Structures are given as structure tokens and as C-alpha cells.
Structure 1
Amino acid sequence: MDRFALKPNLAIRLLPFCCDLPATCRHRVWLGPIAMLLIAASVGCQPSGDDTTGTEAKRNDAPVAVQLVSVQQSTTRQTSRQPATVHPFYEAALRPRVQGFVREVRSDIGDVVKAGDALIVLDVPDLEQDREAQRARIARLEAEVQRANAGAELARAVVQSAEANVAAAQSEMAGAEAELAAAESEFARTQDLVSRQSLQQRMLDEALQRRDSRRAALDAIRSSVNAAQAEVTVAQAKLTAAAADVDAAKADVDVALRQLDRIEVMLNFATIKAPFDGIITQRNVAPGDLVDAGAGAPLLRISQVDRVRVHVPVPESDAAHVNAGDAIEVAFPFFPDESPMQGTVTRVAGELDPSTRTMVVEAVLDNADGKLVPGMFGQATIELAVHENVATLPARAIRFDENGDAYVYVVNDQTVSVQNIQTGNDDGSTIEVLSDLPAGTNVIDAHLQRFTDGQQVAVLAP
């Protein structure tokens, strides 16, 4: 036999050695045919004498040395670790409300401002002229009110005069009625005397003439009373019209005042003020620029950063488990020596972004020292649930077969038994064991060897 004959069974034994990997290395490692031949050649090219075969047989029969780990009863936390982005608590893009020229820019990038501080002042000559013209119009309308009031007073005096004329006419009519009554009485008496031939016919004619004269005078006076009463009605109508003119003039003044108030409001917009406490993060304006309402880029951008909002896109698989009030910690790679910032979930969007299939979760963090800058990237860990008194194993001690089913090598009296298990929460280093695997059960720790039921092992001291 050739002294350097290749031992084919050695190459075959390499396959299980390379395929049995723990849960922390769940990707199978396959060696190509050439690599397998090279390995087999390197280890298989050895003398093929009888002594060598006997030594190898003894080596194969020797128990494999293993380290054991035991199932622990512990508390695990189900978490979701996702990227996070810092946003200002409030952010406002300041644009002009009126057209004008920039007179002053009182704040610049990085300036800390208070709510109500004047940041930009504009020159708005058109509005200033409109204000002066409106003030003049108001003065004219107020004069119209005075004239209307005077007209109303005149109409009121005319009414009073007409009513006085009616009273005088009625008094005169009363006298005329008395005189007519006296004339009719005299006429009747004279007629009686004339019929008895005590008086001449001439006396009756005179009495009749006086009676008719008094009757005609009474009719004239009655017409005067009616005319005076008509004058009262006309005067009262004129008074009503004059009062309406006063009301209309006052309404015109009120409208003009409201228009002046609007001009004043627009003039106030010529001074752009800070809407809240914050810091100026952008400036796109310089003195002398002509700016227009709502046109172009914002003149300034202000952000409130004493508190910040941290937005975390949570994937669909975890979105249903996140609730307001859940604990969250955010670590920033720019501060490697600092502990993660602790907080709680403040708001949950409640819907998934259809393009990313993620849901935005927000947490508010204190930033009084200004350390967190909007746009900064971090890593957020959200606590979804806490599982108490559950069986756990290190992730490296759990194997997975080609179907993804989990199993462990249980060791009892240095004898291996392969046991399939159900796994739960996996935090990357520890995995929950949902199967009936009592606490204290010993299993083989990470090992590249594949074991079988009943195989003997040598347990190494911990």
C-alpha cells in the first residue's frame, strides 16, 4: 500500500464538523470541492502503517470535551432597536406678510432669541401712505356725521314748529266755532222776530250774512289745521330720514376705522418677531432686500431646542406593540462615553408609512444644555414588554437545523440527548426557552462538533 495514501473517511468527517453551528452563527459554512480536497490532502498524507490506524481509532472513541451552561430562570425584556433622528420641539419658517424693503436684520444664525423679540424690520412706505389717507377719510366721514346730526336737529325743530302751528290752528278753530255758534243763535232769534214782524227783513239778512261769514271762517281755519298737521307729518318723516343719515354716517366712520385697524395690523407685520423662545438656524436675507409676502425662501428659520423630539421609525412587526408611556433609551454615537438618555414614548403615529412600512414613534427629551442638535442620528431602544421568570439560555448554546427548528444538546451524566425546543424573545445574547426545559438543565455550550443521542462527552470544569 502507498505510504501516503489518502484517507477518504477523514474528508467525510469534516462535513458535520463544519455544519453544526450555534445560534450566533446561523449561516452554514460549505467548503467547495477543491478546498475539501486540499484539506483532506494536507491532513491525509501521512504514513499508513498499522500503528497509525490504531491511534486514530482510539482518538475517535475518546469522549469529546465540552463546556456546559445551564438553563436560567430570569427576567427578559422584549425590545425594538431602531435608528432615531433628533428634531426641534418647534420649528418655524419666518416669511414676510407684507411687501417692503429690509431696513434691519437684528438676529443672525446661532442667536438665541425670546418670544416677541424683533428679528427683522421692513420699510413699507405704501402702507404708511395708506394709513395717512385712511385717517383723512375718517376725518371727512366724522364731519359727515356732524352734518347729519345738524340736519337731524333741524328736522326736529321743524317738527316742533309744525306741531306748534297745529296747536295754534286748533285754538283758532275753537274760537271760530264759538263765533259761528253765536252767529247761528243770533240768526235764529232774528228770524223769529222777523217772522212776528217785530224786526225788519233787513235785520234778518244781516244776521244771515254774519252767520255765513263765521261758517266760512271756520272752514278756512279747519283747512289750516289740516295743513299744519300735514306739515307735522312731513317734518317727522324728514326727522326720521335725518336720523338715518346720522346712523349711516356713523357706520361709514366705523367701517373706515376697521380699515384703519387692518392697515395698522399690516404695518405691525413690517416687524417680524420671534414666535417662541429658540435659536436662529437659517438666515436668507440682508438689509436692502426687497421681500414680498409668501414669496421665495423663508427669511429666517427658528428652532426651539431646549426640548427636542426624537423620531423613531418602528417596523411593522413591532408597531402594534408600541404604546405611549413605554420606556425608551436613546444612545448617540457622538457621545460614546455617555450613558444612553432615558425617556418614555410620548406619541405614536398610529399608522404605517406605505412606502417604508414603518410607524413614527416620538419621544421628547430634555436638552437644556443644547447638546442634542436637530438632525443628529442616534440609536433608540424601545421596551415593548417585560417577561418575568422565564427560562433562558445563551444564544450560542442553541442550534438550528436546516428547517430553522431550534434544538439543544442536553447532558445528563456525561451522556448527550438531542432535544428540540421552542424559542421566544431573542435579545441577541439571550434567548427565551418556551419548551418544558427546567431551570438548571445542563446543555452543551458553543461547540463546532455535532453530537448524537447517547454520545458520551467529557465535561470540562467551568
Structure 2
Amino acid sequence: MRFSYSIIRLASLAVLLTACQQNKGNKEAAKKGPDSAAVFLLRKDTVNKQITFPAELIPLERAEIFAKVSGYVGTLKVDIGDKVSKGQLLAVLEAPEAIANYAQANADVQTARSRYLGSLDAYKRIVNAAKVEGTVAAGELEKAKSLMMADSAALNAARSKTNAFAQLKDYLTIRAPFSGIVTQRNVDPGTLVSAGTPKPLLVVENISTLRLRVPVPESYTAANTGTPVINFTVDAQPDVTYQAKLSRKAGALNLANRTETWEFLFTNSNNQLKSGMFANAVLKLGRNAPTFLVPSSAVATNLEKRFVIRLKDGKAEWVDVRNGINLGDKIEIFGDLSVGDTLLTRATDEIKAGTALVSKFPRT
């Protein structure tokens, strides 16, 4: 009996102790309240950054010269590295059939001209004779006129054919389209060439001025360069800095890599640089007006969106943003934000929208 009574007393004591502990925990939770979070006030600031982009040097002009007619390379006047002037003779092709066709066309013109002059003279005589009534029948007059007109048309056709063969004959002489330098030679005297040859006979480039083409990522395309002149270096001369001036922008993005091509011109007066060289272009980018800059940790990204967390009326609120220029420790953002908004210094998707938080500003 005494043993049963002791068990009941122990059970009552355990229940009482558990209740006290629960009440203590509830009081501590109520006393603790919402969590605090480090925050800052959103401000606008000037954005300026110096970024290095990979670039490429290409010639101002480049022409791949192909044969327009079939023939053999008779004479080759230039080789790689030779400087040429506009209109200078580069090569002469030999095509005996083209020469023969031109000679035949010339002979056809002479024959057609003789026929036309004969029919024209006959037509004029009949016209003069027809002035005396009853001398020439009306049908004879029309017949002479038709023959004269047919011979005139044949003469014009022969002349057009001759002009066409003359043009083909001119294609046998290959001349430089502009002043520059020969950078490729893919034929030798005696090589058979035609309009369908896959490789060009020669390649001529104008490298007196080089185009420096820089692919600029989409997020930087709206930035202001500040000055049209930029510095760049090349791998062959890493210790030398060159300057180029902005000439034009593509005005559209390359869909393959989401970049816009910016083209700068470099005066290559002493031919110190070569086309095809890779370069490192240094661009100083900025905005025309101040924009929002936040710590990089204030922007969170998940599978669905990129956002910052704004604290409004003590509750967390997700605000979608788009990134701009990345300054390393800070990043430019765009979104439905206002100056003076309270943002969390470290955003994470673990803090859900609507979570109660207490602002914790940094000590000044």
C-alpha cells in the first residue's frame, strides 16, 4: 500500500515539473520576439568601373580575290608581304578560248555591220524610187524596211555579245582593289583556276588602319564610356599600351553570346601591329546619372528569380531586381525600389516574405 502511494506521488511530481518547464519555455519565447537582421538604407551613387575585355584586331579592308573565268595562271606579279597600290596588276590568267571567243565576236560584228549597211542603202534607194507614183509596189517598200530593221537588230546583238566577251577577257587580268599588303598566295604559275575554286588566289588587306572589335556583354551595353579613346594591349607586346578611338557600335546583340560589338579604330602607321592579333581592351564604363548600388550579399538568387529583401512595417518583402554593373563588393541593381528603402544586408530565400524582423542598423 505504501509502495503504491509512493508511485502516485512521484508521478504527480513529474507532471508538475513538466508543466513548469513548458510555462518557462513559453515565457522565454514570448520574451524573445522577432529575430533581428542587419539592414541598410538604400541610396543612389555614381557608378564607374574599369573593365578589361578580350578583343581582336582586324584589317580596315580585306579582299579575297578569286578567278571569275576558268584558265591557267600565266604570270604572278606579287607574293605574300608585298605592298600593292590600288589598280596594280597582281596576276594574269591565260584562257585561249576566251581570246578566241572575243575575236569571233568581233568578226560577227563586222559581218552584221556590212549586212546592215547594205540593207540600209537598199531601203533608201527604194524610198527615193517610190516618190514617183507607180514605180515601186507598196509591198516591196515594206519588205525592204523590215530587212533593214532586222539587220540593225542583229548588229546590236553582235555588239552586245562582243562587249560580254570583252568583259570576260578583262577578267584575265587581276588587279588590286585597294592599296594594302598581300597576306595570302594560294597559286603558282600554271595552276588551273576557275570561278568555283574554294580558295582565293590572293588575299589583300589594308592594315594602315586596324579595327579593334570588342564584344561587350549585354549588361554593359547601356553604359557610358566617358571618353571615346581607350587603351589596349596585345599578347605579343604586353608591356606596350596602345590607344584606339571609338568608331561605331553594332546596335544589336549577337544572339549566340548576348554581346554587342563595339568597334574602335587604331592608326597603324608603322605597321607595328598585325591583323588577327588578340588584344585586351580596357574600358572605363559608367552611368550618366547615379543609380542604386548595394552590397553583393544583398542580392539573392534562386531557380525562379533574383531579388532583394526589403523591410517594410517590420515584415520582409521580396523585390525582384535586375543586375547592372558589378563592382566586386557592390553591384548595381534595377527594380521597384526607392531611395531610403530599408534592405537586408544579407538576403537569402530562407527568409520568406512576410517574416517579422527587427531592423539592426550598423553602428556609426
Normalised to the residue count of structure 1, the TM-score between the two structures is 0.52
Deviation at 1:147, TM superposition (A): 1.8
Partner of 1:106: 77
Aligned partner of 2:94 in structure 1 is: 123
CA distance in 1, matches of 2:224, 2:362: 43
Structure 1 residue 330 and structure 2 residue 232: aligned? Answer: yes
More helix by share: 1
One-letter amino acid of the structure 2 residue matched with residue 102 of structure 1: V
8 Å contact from structure 2 (residues 223, 287) kept in 1: no
Indicate the residue corresponding to 1:309 in structure 2. Answer: 211
Residue 351 of structure 1 aligns to a residue whose secondary structure is: coil
Alpha-carbon distance in structure 2 between the residues aligned to 1:388 and 1:338? 34
CA contact (8 A) 1:102 1:121 kept: yes
| Selected match of 1:279 from 177, 181, 198 | 181
Instruction: Report the Cα offset of residue 348 of structure 1.
Output: 2.2
* Structure 2 partner of 1:189: none
Distance 1:279 1:322, change over 3 A: farther
Shift in Å, 1:366: 1.2
Q: What is the DSSP-based 3-state SS (H/G/I as helix, E as strand, rest coil) of the residue aligned with 2:130?
A: helix
In structure 2, what is the equivalent of residue 358 of structure 1?
A: 259
2:9 maps to what in 1? none
**C-alpha separation between the residues in 2 aligned to 1:284 and 1:136?**
37
Moved more, 112-121 or 332-341: 332-341
Q: Which has the higher strand share?
A: 2
One-letter identity of the residue aligned with 1:110? G
Please name the residue that 2:153 is paired with: 251
Task: Give the distance between the partners of 1:89 and 1:371, measured in 2 at CA.
Answer: 15
1:381 maps to amino acid: V
Change (3 A) 1:341 1:427: farther
**Which residue does the alignment assign to 1:383?**
284
* CA distance 1:158–1:101, change in 2 (3 Å): same
Q: Cα–Cα, structure 1 residues 76 and 319, in superposed 2: closer, same or farther, change >3 Å?
A: closer
Deviation per CA, 1:367-421: give whole Å up to 9, x if none: 121122111111112333257999x9xxxxx99699799xxxxxxxxxxxxxxxx
CA–CA distance in structure 1, aligned partners of residues 149 and 184 of structure 2? 53
Tell me the CA shift for residue 337 of structure 1.
3.2
Cα distance, 1:285 vs. partner?
A: 0.3
Matched position secondary structure for 1:160: coil
Deviation, structure 1 residue 350: 1.1
Inter-CA distance 325–275: structure 2 relative to 1 (3 Å threshold): farther
Gaps of 5+ in 1: 1-73, 164-227, 393-397, 406-422, 437-451, 456-462
Which sits farther off after the overlay, 318-327 or 241-250? 318-327
Q: Identity rate of aligned residues, in percent? A: 26
Q: Shift of the alpha carbon at 1:322?
A: 6.3
2:74·2:190 contact (CA, 8 Å) conserved in 1? yes
Please say which structure displays the higher CA radius of gyration: 1
Q: 2:66 aligns with which of 64, 74, 95?
A: 95
How much has 1:157 moved relative to structure 2? 4.4
Superimposed CA distance per residue, residues 220-273 of structure 1 (whole angstroms, 9 cap, x where no aligned partner): xxxxxxxx4xx55x2x44223323322221221121111111111111110111
Distance in 1, matches of 2:160 and 2:275, equals 43
The letter of the residue matching 2:113 is E
Q: How does 1:404-415 map to 2 (within 5 A)?
A: none
- Any idea what SS the aligned residue of 1:138 has? helix
RMSD: 3.8
Match of 1:134 among 105, 127, 147: 105
Taking the aligned partners of 2:226 and 2:125, their CA distance within structure 1 comes to 75
Contact residue 88 and residue 307 of structure 1 kept, 8 A:
yes
Letter in 1 for 2:116: V
* Aligned 8 A contact 1:102 1:120 in 2: yes
Q: How does 1:141-160 map to 2 (within 5 A)?
A: 141-160=112-131
2:49 is the alignment partner of 1:78: yes
Determine the C-alpha separation between the residues in 2 that align with 1:121 and 1:324.
52
Change (3 A) 1:131 1:333: closer
Q: Which residue of 1 aligns with 2:200?
A: 298
1:98 to partner: Cα distance: 0.7
Kept in 2: contact 1:79–1:427 (CA 8 A): no
- Whole-Å separation in 1 of the counterparts to 2:76 and 2:142: 58
Aligned ranges 1:342-357 → 2 under 5 Å: 342-354=244-256, 356-357=257-258
**Matched residue type, 2:69:** V
The one-letter amino acid of 2:233's match is A
In 2: Cα distance, 1:402 partner to 1:362 partner:
33
Kindly indicate whether residue 168 of structure 2 is the aligned counterpart of residue 266 of structure 1: yes
Residue 380 of structure 1 aligns with an amino acid whose one-letter code is A
Q: How does 1:168-317 map to 2 (within 5 A)?
A: 228=134, 232=136, 234=137, 236-317=138-219
- Amino acid in the other structure paired with 1:243: K
- Count matched residues: 275
2:244 and 2:265 in contact (8 A); partners too: no
Distance 1:159 1:323 in 2: 86
3-state SS of 1:338 partner: strand
Native 8 Å contact 2:73 2:188 kept in 1: yes
Secondary structure at 2:86 match in 1: coil
Offset from partner CA, 1:189-231 (integer Å, 9 cap, x none): xxxxxxxxxxxxxxxxxxxxxxxxxxxxxxxxxxxxxxx4xx5
Secondary structure of the 2:238 match is coil
In structure 1, C-alpha distance between the alignment counterparts of 2:332 and 2:60, rounded to whole Å: 42
* Structure 1 stretch displaced more, 326-335 or 380-389: 380-389
Instruction: Give the deviation of 1:329 after TM superposition.
Output: 2.8
